[in-house]
Amino acid sequence: MMGPSHALSGASVWLAGSWALDHFAGYGQSPLAVAVGATVCAGGALLPDLDLSGKVTRNQGGATVARTFGVFSLFVAEVVEKVSLGVYTATKLSRDPRRTNGHRTFTHTLPFAGLVGWGTTTLCASYGKWAVVAIVFLMAGLALRGLFDEWAERAGWLIVTLASGAIAWFTAANLPGDRGYPMLGMAVGVGCVVHLLGDMITKNGVPILWPIPIGRRMWRMVGVPNGMAVRVGGKTETLVLRSLFTLVAVLAVAGMFAPHVLRNLDLEKWAGG
Ligand SMILES: [Zn+2]
């Protein structure tokens, strides 16, 4: 899937999960905590594609996510791609093909999702609010870039960076510091997993089973059968899936913070029940 769909799916999964926690487990969160979680999850859902490198010296190419902070994130993407390729080459078995590019390798695995989730949690636990501000800043940049891609393209990376800074500052000023931030690492990790699922319904799949060796292959690409695969950037993705994600997000927010609106809509009748 493309950047905007990944970001949108991350946000909607986080909002739906927050609604479910509130509804079934009685775990309520403040509107700001939910907004921060959804933003971080949307950003996290773009993180795996940081392995798509461009041309740093010419400031070109790279995935949506790699262009967030201009040439800086493009450089990071270059490094991530090379490191991923290194992990691939170091762990490939005899039946895994030789590769010259690290895209859709290490950052598209469950251990990577776990690692960034754990890393985020550890940073927040060790450095408290300052780590939170830094993480929210980075993830908000990715989320803005993903969710409002046309605006971000027109505005340029400097404006996106400033806007992320404003979001991080607002969060720091308003999020209570005493309860810790257990949800932040969770949001980044969940975002990565949502990204993997999104890529699994497209043609090439992802090495979701790594590092489990099967049939002298460690990097088997797993996805839906080609006949069912969603075409990247096609109508199914840009129209059907994005509308679905948006609907889920809106319903979840309404369910959490304005349940009377949903009751007035009389959803049961609307669904033909
Ligand atoms: Zn991807």
- Note residues around ion ligand 1 (Cβ under 5 angstroms): 48-49, 199
For the stretch 85-138, pLDDT in tens is: 999 999 999 898 999 888 999 999 999 999 999 999 999 888 888 888 999 999
Contact (Cβ atoms closer than 8 angstroms) between residue 112 and residue 106: yes
Centre of ligand 1 from the C-alpha of residue 1, in Å = 7
Separation CA 81–CA 54 (nearest Å): 10
- pLDDT tens digit sequence for 177-200: 655 677 899 999 999 999 999 999
Report the C-alpha gap between 36 and 89 in whole angstroms.
Answer: 37
Distance 198 CA to ligand 1 centre (A): 8
Ligand 1 midpoint to CA 195 (Å): 6
- Alpha carbons within 13 angstroms on the beta-carbon side of residue 56 total 14
Distance 49 CA to ligand 1 centre (A): 5
Helix (H, G, I), strand (E, B) or coil at 214: strand
- Give me the mean pLDDT over the 19-39 stretch: 92
Q: Which residues contact 27 (CB under 8 A, 6 or more apart)?
A: 21
- How close is the Cα of 55 to the center of ligand 1, in Å? 19
Scored b (16 or more CB within 10 A) or e, 217-232 reads: bbbbbebeeeeebbee
For residue 62 the two structure tokens come to 């790279």
Ligand 1: centre distance to CA 177 (Å)? 34
Q: What is the pLDDT of residues 42-77, one digit of tens each?
A: 999 999 999 887 666 555 666 677 888 888 888 888
How far is residue 128's CA from residue 21's CA, in Å, rounded to a whole number? 24
